[in-house]
Amino acid sequence: MHAPLQTAYRKTFALVVLVALLAVIALAAISLGSISIAPSRVIDVLLGVDGAKQLDFARDALVITQIRIPRLLLGAVVGAGLAVAGAVMQGLFRNPLADPGLIGVSSGAGFAAAVAIVLGGQIVSGAAANFPFIFLPVAAFCGALGSTLMLYVVASRGGRTSMAVMLLAGIAFGALAGAGIGWLSYISDDRQLRDLTFWSMGGLGGATWGKVGIVLPMILPSLIAMPFLAHGLNAMALGEAEAFHLGVNVQRLKSAAILLVSIAVGASVACSGMIGFVGIIVPHLLRLSVGANYRFLLPASALLGATLLVGADIIARTIVAPSELPIGIITATIGAPFFIWLLLRRGPELAV
């Protein structure tokens, strides 16, 4: 009787810690940047104090309200979306390596983005030079949803979706999309190639309230809906047949999970490019430290994913200021060695 109580405490405690961590990192994200703004002024700006007479107050206020806060929100929601989607995928496929890429989201978005970057100017002739910047996110989102839908249709027969078929088809489609990107890189010029490289490493640069206003309503509903899958995913951990016998509507679970993941990840990728590793490392970190119960894992993944990405973004935009690094470099450079260290420490206990 003792043990479950203890784990319950532990989980509540972990959630409280995660919320506090996110709050701290959010404050840091608002306070830190290539422009140094004193904490007192940050507080003034946040409280809406009229500082018109102070030197550079208007500029600092603009930096905080128009640059840092939208970027913080975008980073938080994208990080949360990627991490929760990763956790859901691992549960659905019952595979520790699963990430949203398995259901074609990343490859579809990547291919569509490459089309937008390389052929964007030709598809709509006479468009402005910055056309790909508008076209790209829309194309990436459509590509993500389209490829997922395609894989879903391939994997479904007689009202049942086979996860194994979906996985195999996803690998084949990934190879095809990779070849497509290869073809497009071959015909692209220097600049397009460079755009493609930057996009594939992700970044939250150019976050505006407008972007937040589009992305938030797309990811947030998925984020809120995904914890409702927790019961089903817990049952799935025992096996698909076992989950069915436990009264879980397995087919509905699969469809809902795939739909929610593709929307959340598609929107994330569309606005911030490919950000790797968050979807894998965050759920595993939590499983290793606090357990594999999805009721806890999904909200905790959202919190830790947001914290991690916002933290990585602080590094990305300050380390080489006044320029900035693609965020995917940071998440993988820090995430991968840390993850390996964690695996070395825990050894064979790891269970998904």
Partner 1 sequence: MKAISLSAVLALLCLALTPFAASAEPGNSSGAGTAQASVKPRIVAAGGVVTEIVYALGHSDLLVGVDTTSLFPESALKEKANVGYVRALSSEGLLSLNPSMIVAIESAGPPDVLKTVEGAGVEIVRVPEVSTPAGITEKIKEIAGLVGDVDKGAALAADTEKQFKSVDRLREKIHKPRRALFILSFLNGRATVGGEGTSADGIIALAGLQNSASMLKGWKPISDEALLEVAPDVIIAMNHGGPQAVTVDSILANPAFAATPAGKTKSILVFDGGYLLGFGPRTPDAARDLLLAAYPEIAKAEQGSDHK
What DSSP string describes 322-334? TS---HHHHHHHH
In angstroms, give the least distance from the CB of 63 to partner 1: 6
Closer to partner 1 by Cβ: residue 24 or 38: 38
- Work out whether 122 is an interface residue with partner 1 (CB under 8 A): no
Tell me how far apart the alpha carbons of residues 341 and 220 are, in angstroms, rounded to a whole number: 32
Tell me how far apart the alpha carbons of residues 117 and 107 are, in angstroms, rounded to a whole number: 15
Residue type, 86: G
Of 192, 348, 195, 328, which Cα lies nearest the Cα of 268? 328
Q: Is residue 106 a contact partner of residue 268, using CB atoms and an 8 Å limit?
A: no
What DSSP string describes 166-182? HHHHHHHHHHHHHHHHH
In angstroms, give the least distance from the CB of 331 to partner 1: 17
Most distant CA atoms of the chain, gap in Å: 71
Residue 285: count of CB within 10 angstroms of its CB: 20
Closer to partner 1 by Cβ: residue 210 or 348: 210
Stretch of 2-10, 105-113, 222-230, 316-324 contacting partner 1, by CB under 8 A: 316-324
**65 to 84, contacts with partner 1 by CB under 8 A?**
66-68
- 3 state SS of 238: coil
DSSP structure class, residue 243: H
In angstroms, give the least distance from the CB of 322 to partner 1: 3
**151 to 180, contacts with partner 1 by CB under 8 A?**
none
In angstroms, give the least distance from the CB of 56 to partner 1: 5
- Work out whether 242 is an interface residue with partner 1 (CB under 8 A): no
Q: Which of 56, 178, 239, 337 binds partner 1 (CB under 8 A)?
A: 56
Closer to partner 1 by Cβ: residue 133 or 339: 133
- Tokens coding 306: 């947001």
What DSSP string describes 20-78? HHHHHHHHHHHH-SSS---HHHHHHHHHT---TTSTTHHHHHHIIIIIIHHHHHHHHHH
Of 142, 120, 169, which Cα lies nearest the Cα of 266? 142
Closer to partner 1 by Cβ: residue 207 or 332: 207
Stretch of 3-11, 176-184, 227-235, 321-329 contacting partner 1, by CB under 8 A: 321-329
- Tokens coding 261: 């993941």
Stretch of 59-67, 149-157, 258-266, 327-335 contacting partner 1, by CB under 8 A: 59-67
- Work out whether 133 is an interface residue with partner 1 (CB under 8 A): yes
Closer to partner 1 by Cβ: residue 58 or 153: 58
Tell me how far apart the alpha carbons of residues 146 and 312 are, in angstroms, rounded to a whole number: 30
**3 to 42, contacts with partner 1 by CB under 8 A?**
33-38
Closer to partner 1 by Cβ: residue 91 or 205: 205
In angstroms, give the least distance from the CB of 20 to partner 1: 26
**180 to 239, contacts with partner 1 by CB under 8 A?**
186-191, 194-195, 198, 203, 205-208, 210-211
* Strands (DSSP E) found in the chain: 156-157, 160-161
- Total residues at interface with partner 1 (CB under 8 A): 44
Closer to partner 1 by Cβ: residue 170 or 273: 273
Question: Which residues of this protein are in contact with partner 1, per CB under 8 A?
Answer: 33-38, 54-60, 62-63, 66-68, 129-130, 133, 186-191, 194-195, 198, 203, 205-208, 210-211, 317, 320-324, 326
